[in-house]
Amino acid sequence: MTLAAAKIVKDAIPEWNMSGIVIMKDDHATQDEINTLELEYNINVYPASHPIPDERSVSAASKILSSVSNISNNRTLVLCCVSGGGSALFCTPRPPLVLSDLASTNACLLSS
């Protein structure tokens, strides 16, 4: 899915100097697909847990938020593609919630 989305965007805006970050469920892409994303599309891939978020989810979400907050040109196009699993993969708990609160809530919902 991620590689297909990158191809669609690049085909739609071929002159765009694409770069980005992807948070992907473990084993959801082949190593060849990951290499293509990183080498041809300048997209860094971070694996994380789904359906229950983990520390990698928080770390990768922080990388995205930091990257976007460091944009200095107000004419920079930021494109956000979210498909299934976004709530677990892009996880940024805010106090008083902590990661274990979100993980236990997801686990409870899954068991119901």
Task: Look at residue 97 and tell me whether its pLDDT is greater than 90.
Answer: yes
Q: In the structure, what pLDDT confidence band is assigned to residue 82 with cuts at 50, 70 and 90?
A: confident
> What value does the mean pLDDT take over residues 91-111?
94
The sign of the CA dihedral 10, 38, 4, 90 is negative
Global pTM reads 0.86
Short-list 72, 86, 78, 83, CA closest to 13? 78
Q: For residue range 52-67, list pLDDT tens digits in order.
A: 999 999 999 999 999 9
Residue 8 confidence (pLDDT): 93
